[in-house]
Structure 1
Amino acid sequence: MRLNGKIAIVTGAGSGIGKASVELFREHGATVVGADLKGADVECDAGSEAAVAKLVADTVAEHGGLDIFFANAGISGGLESIFEQDESAWAEILRVNTIGPAMAIKYAAPEMKKRGGGSIIATASVAGLRSGAGGPAYTASKAAVINLVKIGAQQLTGSNIRVNAICPGLIETGMTEFVYERARAKGVEDKLGHLNPMKRGGQPIEIANAALFLASDEASYVNGHALVVDGGLSASHPFNLQAYGRTAI
């Protein structure tokens, strides 16, 4: 019961990482409000300042406070090149993926301060670390999230509110469904994730477990950090073992 008595909000809770996190947080004793455009406890556009403000206010009014906010909602925006994505695509991706977590910090932190502290977590991505894991606007939005949590941690100095990010690698969710379906149709599903040392893609529960750690008191000294959960993908520049005359064990 690592979150016993805690009150939490999880956005993007209708499926994938968000849904797995809601279930896991509840298993560990938290009261959780799951929010999404559909398929969750409450409907919420996580990229809207007014909607996020209302989500926080309603949660506090109904449950008496707020201890955890997992700003997980996000959109991919596809894999078009920088020459194909127009201004409206950039604006929408940044609105949801970057402004959404910023609004989560803005409205969650004052309520957490009233309770003596809390934990804010944002979903970034390995795409935010370097190119090659998403479209240009998506990659830029997730890089911004990584820096956003550092800014948030500094601006909340002395509040006992921690602000961290998770950088997932390839995870089987609704966002990556087209990748998995295409691989299955071609009979090459076993090749998914083959560039990382674990030689596989990840599952939502593996990211939810990381979120549980960051939400809990076990991460009491982890702040302003981007936790990478990618099977080791970003631990090295891609290379071919055989080209160096080596083979895996």
Structure 2
Amino acid sequence: MDLKLRGLKALITGGSKGIGYRCAAALVAEGAQVSICARTVADVDAVTAELGVYGAVVDVSNKDALESWVADSAVAMSGIDIVIGNVSALAVSDDEAAWEAGFNTDMMHCVRLVNAAMPWLEASDAASITLVSSVSGREIDFTGPAYGAFKAALVHYAQGLAYKLAPQGIRANTVSPGNTYFKGGIWESIETGNPELFATALAMNPMGRMATPDEIARGVIFVASPASSFTSGTNLVIDGALTKGVQL
């Protein structure tokens, strides 16, 4: 299938590892131009060198830094067609600090990303917004209340964007991954630091394993692409049947 991504310009937050990195690699393979941001200089340098993408070191909870990256990316790529909000604070504790981190990073980084990119999205013939949520936003699990609440809020926010922006031809969707394992990721850390929790979480997966970043990225890229041109306001759950709630 031709995803019709060749020549399009995409932004990805958290594009140096895991799902974000695999999204960047997939977009490049499809002929798109890509700009990523991440917090670590070495990681950004490695990905920009490997994939030939534009990149910058950005703390997405910093409004000015995030907006500057969006503007600089638009100049570097001569536009923006696709926005993928992928960063999470992974604040799973049950305290006020988790609520603050989740609001500033998970929620407001997506709001600011969309707002900053909007002038270029409005000028695009293939504009789409895809925000990475989580199955933790769909049902109660062992993560902290703030994490799930903000992941659910992202789904609601994207649904509102989809309705509001449909007359302009701008699509908005979310993708909700289940447990996703990759080197340097949260589940590798839990596997070594809290093996009991890791075993419990792994046992909850009906397929007997966690997802790979590639498996999630393929879904993200599809809904973001022009090949999915009539998909808007959708929350795509990719969890290997982990969650049990019926999505109506």
| Separation (CA, whole Å) in 1 of partners of 2:81 and 2:227 | 14
Give the letter aligned to residue 43 of structure 1: V
Q: CA deviation at 1:192?
A: 5.0
TM-score (normalizing by structure 2): 0.86
Q: Deviations over 1:198-219 (max 9, x none)?
A: 2211111111101110121121
Q: Alpha-carbon deviation of 1:52?
A: 2.4
2:140 alignment partner, one of 131, 148, 152: 131
- The structural deviation recorded for 1:180 is 2.4
Work out whether residues 6 and 31 of structure 1, in 8 Å CA contact, stay in contact via their aligned partners in 2. Answer: yes
- Which of 62, 69, 74 is the matching residue for 2:83? 69
Look up the SS of the partner of 1:42 in the other structure.
strand
Flag structure 2 segments of 5+ consecutive residues without an equivalent: 45-54
Checking the alignment, whether the CA contact within 8 Å between 1:9 and 1:69 is kept in structure 2 is yes
Tell me what 1:52 maps to.
66
Which amino acid counterpart does residue 100 of structure 2 have in structure 1?
A: A
> Match of 2:156, as an amino acid?
N
Give, as a single letter, the amino acid of the residue that structure 2 aligns with 1:111: W
TM-superposed CA distance for 1:236, in Å, is 4.5
1:24 to 20, 26, 32: 26
Kindly indicate whether the alpha-carbon contact (under 8 Å) linking 1:105 and 1:152 is maintained by their aligned counterparts in 2: no
Q: Structure 1: where are the runs of 5+ without partners?
A: 238-249
* Identity value in percent: 28
> Matches of 1:92 and 1:195 in 2, distance apart?
27
Superposed structure 1 runs of 4+ greater than 4 Å apart: 188-192
Report the AA paired with residue 148 of structure 1: Y
Cα distance in 2 for residues equivalent to 1:236 and 1:193: 19
Instruction: Return the TM-score normalized by structure 1.
Output: 0.85
RMSD after superposition: 2.0
Please state which structure has a larger fraction of its residues in helix: 2
Aligned length: 230
Among 148, 155, 179, the alignment partner of 1:146 is: 155
- Tell me if 1:175 matches 2:163: no
User: Do the aligned partners of 2:187 and 2:198 also contact (CA within 8 Å) in 1?
Assistant: no
Instruction: Give me the whole-angstrom Cα distance separating, in 1, the residues matched to 2:107 and 2:245.
Output: 26
Alpha-carbon distance change, 132 to 209 in structure 1, aligned in 2, over 3 angstroms: same
Task: Compute the displacement of 1:99 (Å).
Answer: 0.8
Question: Could you give the per-residue CA deviations for residues 108-163 of structure 1, whole angstroms, max 9, x where no partner exists?
Answer: 22211112341111110000011114211111110110101011112213111111
> Match of 1:59, as an amino acid?
S
